[in-house]
Amino acid sequence: MSADKPAPDDKPASAATSPAKKTPLYDVHRELGANLVDFAGYLMPLRYASETAEHRAVRTGAGLFDLSHMGEIFLNGPGAGAALDYALVGKLSPMAVGKARYTMICAPDGGVLDDLIVYRLADETFMVVANASNAVTVREALVERAAGFETVVDDRSDAYALIALQGPDAEGILARFTAAPLPDVKYYAITADEVAGVDALLARTGYTGEDGFELFVSAEDAVRLWQELAAVEGVVPAGLSARDTLRLEAGMPLYGNELTSETNPYEAGLGRVVKLDKPGDFVGKATLAAQAQTPPGRRLVGLVAHGRRAPRKGYEVVTSDGTPCGVVTSGAPSPTLGRPIALAYVDCALSTEPGAETGLAVDVRGRRERVDVVDLPFYKRS
């Protein structure tokens, strides 16, 4: 799912003049000298020093992220699973306790309102984690769609902080602070335990393409937990810029870029999350079923640039004769690949199979930069 951040070319408001909310870790970020920006209504660390160094720390060791701007919305009651089956495109009611699932909430016309991770915490309790910029939209839609089901929608976003420890060393580091059997917590699973003496929901999920954990704790406990983890040698605080290049290398969509209310799951190559075969109706089912049978006019592809200038969001993709045929949704220099990479929607009428000679280019400020279409993800951990 998306942990949304400003695109590299965005110009966020100054932290000094922003009316944005502060996460429980705001003072910690200031003490660390973070570049704080107004994002999705919160003052968030964009970077602490070098976003490239932060990126590489996650790829080779461990990075520590503040994701407390994300939304945590609970559904409680015997009808919670059925309500989510109706409200979302996935099949959530059969999910076992302690498991998580990536899914989406769509409008009746099939447009994506947000991509989500849903955790089942107990037989009658689910936690829906929404992107910060969409948390209110998701909450309001869930309240409306859950009406008539035996469940209560409870937005606890302000009560929670979310800290992510990501990277190949994450399990070993976290094992120092918890008795939880971490090897038994598989990918997309969650358990409740103490971490550094703090009650936490410990999920093996993330948005970086690496192994790692996301820790949901009370807002009051956030500073204590962060300081305990940050004190471990090799743990590097990482900001939203590094998180964006990490998720881009991993080919993970970002809401507002690859996913929008004007985009349906099939265009984004995520039709697999739409469970048309689940019993009963759900919001958007009829439209999504029709879209599943109709070849999309565009598709999401990965691009690797030949030159050093990075394609950015909104730049045109053009054919060899300069005809526009698509648009870049995300792009940046890849610290891991050493070349600029991008995600883009392109016309399905084009032959754009990975490895084929396409002649495609991106118009980078008036200059055509040749690109190759490649398989996604750009990076996959071994």
Which of 308-318 are b and which e, b meaning 16 or more Cβ less than 10 Å from the residue's Cβ?
ebbbbbebbbb
Reply yes or no on whether the pLDDT at 237 is more than 50.
Answer: yes
Using pLDDT thresholds of 50, 70 and 90, give the confidence band for residue 353.
confident
Between 352 and 64, the more confident residue is 64
Q: How far is CA 35 from CA 32, 198, 239, in A?
A: 9, 28, 9
User: Tens of pLDDT along 239-289?
Assistant: 999 999 999 999 999 999 999 999 999 999 999 999 999 999 999 999 999
- Listed by start position, the domains of the chain span 21-67+159-249, 297-374
User: Tens of pLDDT along 330-348?
Assistant: 999 999 999 999 999 999 9
CATH topology of domain 297-374: Elongation Factor Tu (Ef-tu); domain 3 (2.40.30)
Q: Residue 362 corresponds to which amino acid?
A: V
* Helices then strands, each counted (H, E), the chain: 8, 20
CATH topology of domain 21-67+159-249: Gyrase A; domain 2 (3.30.1360)
Query: What would the two tokens of residue 278 be?
Result: 């689940």
Residue with tokens 């408001």: 13
All residues at 6 or more sequence positions from 90 whose CB lies less than 8 Å from its CB, including other chains? 84, 101, 102, 103, 104, 118, 273, 274, 275
User: Tens of pLDDT along 61-111?
Assistant: 999 999 999 999 999 999 999 999 999 999 999 999 999 999 999 999 999
Residue with tokens 């094992």: 175
